[in-house]
Amino acid sequence: MGNKTLLFGLSCILLAYYTYIPIPENVEEPWKVRLIDILTKITTLTATVFEYTGLMKFEDLFFIITKTQYIEPISDENLTVIDTEFNNIPVRLYLPKRKSERQRPAVIYIHGGAFVTGSFKMRPYDFVNRMTASRLDAVVVAPDYRLAPQDLFPAAHEDCISVVKFFLQDKVLEKYRVDPAHIFISGDSSGGALTGSVTQLLQDDPEYRNKIKAQVMIYPGLQAIDIGMPSYRECENGPFLSRKLAIRLSILYFTDDKEVVNAILRNEHMPEGSRDLFKFVNWSDFLPEKYKRNHVYREPVVGKLNVFFTAFLDRRMSPLLANDTQLQNLPLTYVITCEHDILRDDGLIYVTRLRNAGVPVTHDHIENAIHGAISFATAPMYLHSGLRIIDKYISWLQKNL
């Protein structure tokens, strides 16, 4: 045994030590979740080293990895699948082939990826959208909005709005034989945030009010104000999405200033004068008792950061910042939250706030699932909880068509 072997052995032990976290007991398929978690941590470590040595930027490695999952638009016996553009924004369309007398429902699906990665081209999203179109005999529209850090806030939001407005034109709906009374918007993770903000903004616009029948948010992130909620504490190190990784990636939607990341991790990023917004995200008020456990409410600290990011105060970034009047006219909403997810409380609080405002909400909480589950529902992981969430999602749409 040479020194190299010894060094290699030691590195493995160190890496295992660095990446090890206990996987929660009730997680479904714990060995798959452990593998996902370890691979994510190794990727994070590698991305950090690459950035440090100047090889590439931190986020580039994540982008490269998601790119390996891209697939071409493939039509089959039931669906015509094409890549095209709406208002110069790339979209993938799933158009049912079956002859039908009636007009079809439509679903606009906004993918996740922390605003820096992800695409409708990724296998898991293609799988979800294909299945939705096929099972519901629906038209599915999946936009590829601009990503950070090339395009900063609110580019992603604006692209999604632009695609929806293009699609909602009478002549476009007619072209695809879509029933204007049955149009849905859905999204997961950061795509859930975009779903929330797009639906709110359209509802405020007299020209588009009541044009969306329902919105679906799958483990959405809905605020950037309080990073100290119970779920952010309990799932700080994952599995899969750690607090630090979520912040390091999604912050690139506003800035590449590392100081801001550190301020957020200390929950000290909100500017002077923003304290009146805390009431909209106060988990002590809005979280059902069972999720509060023994956590003690601590207010985020204001005025520590010199730079001022208006995006933190903007409901195009944080749909939870809408007041009750702005929430009360929102359409029927379906929220899926997962127990083992830093973003769990964002979703739970939105459910409470929407219900308080009188919006009809269906909520499913998946006790044994992790954040991002549907992104692991296809090869090679075939994560069961991801498949179950997809099934719940499509079944809910089917019931509410």
Residues involved in catalysis: 189, 341, 371
Q: Closest CB to ligand NAG among 216 and 321?
A: 321
Q: Please work out, in degrees rounded to the nearest 5, the angle formed at the alpha carbon of residue 306 by the alpha carbons of 301 and 311.
A: 75
Rule CB under 6 A: is residue 325 a binding residue for ligand NAG? yes
Of the listed pieces 65-73, 319-327, 328-336, 362-370, which binds ligand NAG according to CB under 6 A?
319-327
Q: Is 273 exposed, middle or buried, given 0-12, 13-18 or 19+ CB atoms closer than 10 A?
A: exposed
By CB under 6 A, name the one of 76, 85, 367, 391 that touches ligand NAG: 76
Among 25, 77, 207, 289, binds ligand NAG (CB under 6 A): 77
Cα–Cα distance for residue pair 114/44, rounded to 1 Å: 14
Site mask for ligand NAG (CB under 6 A), range 123-142, x = bound: -----------x--------
For residue 289, state whether it binds ligand NAG (rule: CB under 6 A): no
Tell me how far, at minimum, the Cβ of 200 lies from ligand NAG, in Å. Answer: 11
Among the listed residues 43, 69, 237, 326, the single contact to ligand NAG using CB under 6 A: 326
- For residue 176, the cross-strand partners are none
Q: Could you give the CA distance from residue 207 to residue 204 in angstroms, rounded to a whole number?
A: 9
Q: Cα–Cα distance between 160 and 99 in angstroms, integer?
A: 30
- The reply to whether 285 sits near ligand NAG by the rule CB under 6 A is yes
- The answer to whether the bond into 24 is cis (omega within 30° of 0) is no
Tokens for 355?
């219900």
Residue of 174, 257, 259, 299 that binds ligand NAG (CB under 6 A): 299
Q: Residue 134 or residue 378: which is nearer to ligand NAG going by CB?
A: 134
| Least distance CB 222 / ligand NAG (angstroms) | 17
- In the list 48, 84, 100, 323, the residue contacting ligand NAG (rule: CB under 6 A) is 323
Using the rule CB under 6 A, give the single segment among 6-14, 70-78, 247-255, 261-269 that binds ligand NAG. Answer: 70-78
Which residue number, 1 or 296, has a Cβ lying nearer to ligand NAG?
296
- The single-letter code of the amino acid at 65 is I
CB 133 within 8 A of CB 174: no
Q: How far is the CB of 324 from ligand NAG (least distance, A)?
A: 6
How far apart are CB 132 and ligand NAG at their closest, in Å?
12
Contact flag: residue 282 with ligand NAG (CB under 6 A): yes
Nearer to ligand NAG, 300 or 386 (CB): 300
E-strand stretches of 246-308: none
Q: In terms of Cα–Cα distance, which of 370, 304, 373 is closest to 24?
A: 370
CB closer to ligand NAG out of 129 and 134? 134
CB < 8 Å & 24+ apart, contacts of 36-42: 36/239, 36/240, 36/370, 36/376, 36/381, 36/383, 37/238, 37/239, 37/240, 40/238, 40/240, 40/241, 40/245, 41/238, 41/242, 42/15
Residue 299's contacts (CB-CB under 8 Å, 6 or more residues apart) are 275, 278
Binding window for ligand NAG (CB under 6 A); candidates: 76-84, 112-120, 174-182, 211-219: 76-84
In terms of CB distance, is 78 or 162 closer to ligand NAG? 78
Does the footprint of ligand NAG cover residue 268 (CB under 6 A)?
A: no
Q: Are 140 and 133 a contacting pair, CB within 8 Å?
A: yes
Cβ contact 251:259 at 8 Å: no
Q: Which H or E element spans position 139?
A: strand 139-143
Residues lying near ligand NAG in the complex (CB under 6 A): 76-78, 134, 278-279, 282, 284-285, 297, 299, 323-326
